Amino acid sequence: MPKPTDPQSPATRLVTGGRRAEWTGTAAQPGAVVNPPVWRASTHLYPNAAALKSGPQTNEDGRFFYGRRGSPTQWALAEALTALEPGGHGTMLYPSGVAAITGALLSVLSPGDVLLMTDSAYDPSRGFADGFLKRFGIETRYYDPTVGAGIADLICDRTRAILMESPGSLTFEVQDVPAICQAARAARPDIVLLIDNTWATGHFMPALALGADMSIIACTKYIVGHSDVMLGSVTTTERFYPRLRQTAQALGTVVSPDDAWLALRGLRTLDVRLRQHQASALQIAHWLAEQPQVARVLHPALPSCPGHDLWQRDFTGSTGLFSFVLKGGSDAARAALIDTLSLFGIGYSWGGFESLCIPVDPARCRSATSWPPTGDDNALVVRLHIGLEDPADLIADLAKGLAAFTMTP
């Protein structure tokens, strides 16, 4: 599919990506629209038997074949997401972020392979590796997210892929992605480098430009932005796109045009939403760092957070998700903090317009590294997603929660 060639800024690409004239019309035509419509269809009709017979040979992106292969609604979203990642050749859509992670891994791994996965990875990524992949003879080895170029020492003759995630889902370690990619390729040129780029999206971290081969996003989060769609995507280079696409089609992976349309709508406002999430989260993170009940704040954009220098180098912004570590306390006190909050919902996911708060226990998701790194067994962690509410109101709400924490034994 054609890629934009104009030197547009990332914010402009969010608005213009996927708006091809054949899907929206042109200004000179009656009925031209800004957004591609929702194309709902399982069956695509052919004009004659000869055209039907040639169908499999013309099964390519942007051409009608069968509903499972997409329509202009899905193609427009995929093309816009590809434009989000400099160096991207194509994007496959998936019905959830987890499906995107598993689909990407299955496209490159075979029985007997070794997968290296960051020890700070999203818990369902670990579950898939330790369960499904293990049953099919694929071994997963976990590595310290701060390993950097030292990843070369972990690569063996069976190592096929590395799954990075930067920052980590719960404890927000920033990985040295360029160093890992460079060292891994020097050790084994055919290795495949994947990264879960959900926290920053390609808008705030150009993962492929930093050396990754596949950039995975749980579009459920910031791309959709309204907590009403489950969706995932994988954007990759020309080298790996055919295999990614073939694997997705073999597995029957498809997303509904309605969900794709909602994600495309959300994508148009990603720049302004992320910048507001960033500003509010930073204001709250700085406030939390000054509270006596808080031992430390795990936010990559704070100078006190390990990996801050890498964040400054590789990212162009930060988002609304971060954690903080409580000073002392009990599980009951942490629960009291969370239960006292009125503006923070208690629930999984993040990236929507609403603020969320959950207790997290990173130790249970570690095997190559320990948590907490300081050896304090009583380091209780709370993860926040800062939404689009007024940050002053959120701070007042958190102040009440911290007071409840203090009062609960």
Which positions are annotated as active-site residues? 68, 122, 196, 221
In this structure, the strands spanning 321-326 and 381-385 are antiparallel
* Three-state secondary structure call for residue 162: strand
Q: CA 12, CA 17: separation in Å to the nearest integer?
A: 8
Q: Rounded CA gap, 211 and 168, in Å?
A: 18
- Contact predicate 109/138, CB 8 Å: yes
Closest CA to 59 of 18, 251, 67: 67
> The tokens 């042109």 sit on which residue?
26
Report the alpha-carbon distance of residue 201 to residue 215 in Å, rounded. Answer: 9
Contact (CB, 8 A) for 154 and 180: no
CA-CA distance, 104 to 93, in Å (whole number)? 11
Torsion sign (Cα): 312, 315, 320, 325: negative
- Pairwise CA distance, residues 139 & 112, whole Å: 7
**Secondary structure (3-state) at 168:** coil
d(CA 2, CA 82): 11
| C-alpha–C-alpha distance, residues 198 and 186, integer Å | 27
**C-beta separation of 326 from 382 below 8 A:** yes
Task: Evaluate the CA torsion angle 73, 197, 319, 400 in order and state its sign.
Answer: positive
Helix (H, G, I), strand (E, B) or coil at 383: strand
Query: In the block, which residue shows the tokens 């780029």?
Result: 197
Q: How far apart are CA 229 and CA 231, in angstroms?
A: 6
User: What ranges make up the beta strands (E) of 71-165?
Assistant: 90-94, 114-118, 139-143, 159-165
